[in-house]
Structure 1
Amino acid sequence: MDKKITIAIDGFSSTGKSTVAKQLAKELGYVYVDTGAMYRAVTLYVMRHLFVTETNFDVEAILRHLPFISLKFIFDEKLGYGEIYLNKENVEKEIRLMEVSRNVSRVATISKVREMLVKQQQEMGKNKGVVMDGRDIGTVVFPDADLKLFMTASTQTRAERRYKELCGRGNEVEFNEVLENVKERDYLDSTREDSPLIKAKDAIEIDNSELTLEEQFEKVVKLARDKIAEKD
């Protein structure tokens, strides 16, 4: 029987981390955890309470409400992975809206928010057999992960992917708005003081600007199976 490993997938926004992580978890029979969805759910909560608006960013109010935020992934057999629930409400679709994307990197800079979510993420992955994607999985959440991948792609490519995704969901957005959002998130994610987005020294970088989903998946599956074989 194969020994289970911990797989950490980090990278910039819209590099397809979640897509390949879901595919990989399904292929291996592992648990998939989308940490970005957790930060988005917290962001949605504080936006609903108007703690984060275009003119307001009330960190004290956000911190006061952290005890009232309950996050849970509930497995959906039809999808083959878990969707995020915020206080028992499925918010998987709502957290993907452009309004949430505009604010999630700001909320993620709050150290207490990161501390709360990192603890939850470490608990989810303590038994191994997990594929987790985000910004700081291989550097902070699981610095001893058996396999670390770092996904990247050109800014233009990522903006085009995000634009198509949003349009496909029926959202009315301008491409330039999406492009600027990608650039802004890159800057905020990479320059924040607490757990900035950086490539772990032992991570394998995958630039998927020119790769098809199939090519990317084949590459990632081989890396995972090779690492599992090393453990046997």
Structure 2
Amino acid sequence: MKKITIAIDGFSSTGKSTLAKQLANHLGYVYVDTGAMYRAVTFFAMKNGYIAADYFDKETLINSLQFIKLHFEYNSNVGFAEMYLNDENVENQIRNMGVSNNVSRVAEVSEVRAKLVEQQKEMGKEKSIVMDGRDIGTVVFPFAELKIFMNASPETRAQRRFAELQEKGQQVTFEEVLKNVQERDYIDTHREDSPLVKATDAIEIDNSNLTREEQFQKVLDLVTATTKSL
């Protein structure tokens, strides 16, 4: 099949990364989790005291961007590429509620977005890539051959995230997770720089009532149809 660029956007906890990993593994494509990149920058900011619940020193973070090196390394044991921050594997550290509570504020910063978008565009030059995030189809790859926009109700997404955190042993309540989902939705859709919007040519999939297998097959059919039409 002809190699294409697949851009997957959508709200938090809609399963974008799970779907993107499935597609990349099946197609033999490169998978890039842009959300992990923003989470890594957020983790860096938290670790250095630049951001907290009631505090955000944006200028110091912006001036520190030159000291942030991000890259992915494939881990055959888990079947996907993990996030490295300054040569340290931070895949697990960036998935906690602390990072989740701060990542949307960090992602609002134009200088952070510019730095990461530049890297993301470079990663996709050779096509054969599946990338998920908030602005992939609108900013990073506006000419992607296939654009998917993932959606689901806030309650459904909060329940998924809550179950995931419980499995990892994190002590959180469903109400806390739901509030986080709703707050992130608001920030992501209202920020001035590259807000979360559905690209005009994106295909929206509401997976509130879809299994992972049903969702994967639905998108795989779209990939097949797209490559045949080129």
Deviations 1:172-199 (A, max 9, x none): 0011000000000000000000000000
Q: Which residue of 2 aligns with 1:58?
A: 57
Structure 2, gaps ≥5 residues long: none
Distance in 1 separating the partners of 2:54 and 2:199: 35
Distance in 1 separating the partners of 2:67 and 2:174: 36
The reply to whether residue 32 of structure 1 matches residue 24 of structure 2 is no
1:68 CA drift (Å): 0.3
Q: Which residue of 2 aligns with 1:127?
A: 126
* Aligned 1:40-119 pairs, distance under 5 A: 40-119=39-118
Distance in 1 separating the partners of 2:166 and 2:101: 16
SS in 1 for 2:52: coil
Percent sequence identity over aligned pairs? 63
Deviations 1:132-167 (A, max 9, x none): 000000000000000000000001000000000000
Task: State the TM-score, normalizing by the size of structure 1.
Answer: 0.98
Paired AA for residue 83 in structure 2: I
Paired AA for residue 196 in structure 1: P
Deviations 1:188-223 (A, max 9, x none): 000000000000000000000000111001001111
Deviations 1:44-101 (A, max 9, x none): 0010000001221001100110000000000112322211000001111110000000
The reply to whether residue 223 of structure 1 matches residue 222 of structure 2 is yes
Structure 1, gaps ≥5 residues long: none
Paired AA for residue 107 in structure 1: V
Distance in 2 separating the partners of 1:79 and 1:164: 19
Paired AA for residue 197 in structure 2: I
SS in 2 for 1:210: coil
The reply to whether residue 9 of structure 1 matches residue 8 of structure 2 is yes
Q: How many residues align?
A: 230
SS in 2 for 1:144: coil
Q: Which residue of 1 aligns with 2:201?
A: 202
